């Protein structure tokens, strides 16, 4: 699974979402996608290579950057480990 976040392209958000869905069908991926304000959010599954999946979905729109998300709670900030929000 991969999560792609970024600035949505200008224009009709429905067209952006439909373009992502078409790209997902072509790449044989399952997606949950939407535009929230000026943010594009894509959750994709069906690939063992998250970077390749992200490039297949948003490569035509933006440069894809990769960084891993720590799955272990020991890597999270202390307030998150305790179930509290960060101050501020």
Q: What is the CATH number of the domain that holds 51?
A: 3.30.70
Closest among 33, 28, 25 to 9, alpha carbons compared: 33
CA dist 43 and 45 (Å) reads 7
The pLDDT of residue 73 is: 55
Structural domain that includes position 46: 2-75
pLDDT by position in tens, the chain (length 88): 888 888 888 889 899 899 999 999 999 999 999 999 888 899 999 998 888 888 888 876 666 666 666 555 555 555 544 555 545 5
The pLDDT of residue 79 is: 53
Is the residue at 28 inside a domain?
Answer: yes
Task: Report pTM.
Answer: 0.67
User: Tokens 């490039």 correspond to what residue?
Assistant: 55
Is the residue at 36 inside a domain?
Answer: yes
Closest among 33, 45, 27, 47 to 5, alpha carbons compared: 33
């Amino acid at each position: 699974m991969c999560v792609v976040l970024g600035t949505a392209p200008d224009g009709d958000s429905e067209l952006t979402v439909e373009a992502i869905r078409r790209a997902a069908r072509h790449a044989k991926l399952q997606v949950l996608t939407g535009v929230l304000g000026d943010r594009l959010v894509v959750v994709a599954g069906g690939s063992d290579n998250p970077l390749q999946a992200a490039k297949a979905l948003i490569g035509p729109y933006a440069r894809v950057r990769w960084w891993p998300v720590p799955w272990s709670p020991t890597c999270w900030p202390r307030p998150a480990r305790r179930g509290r929000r960060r101050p501020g």
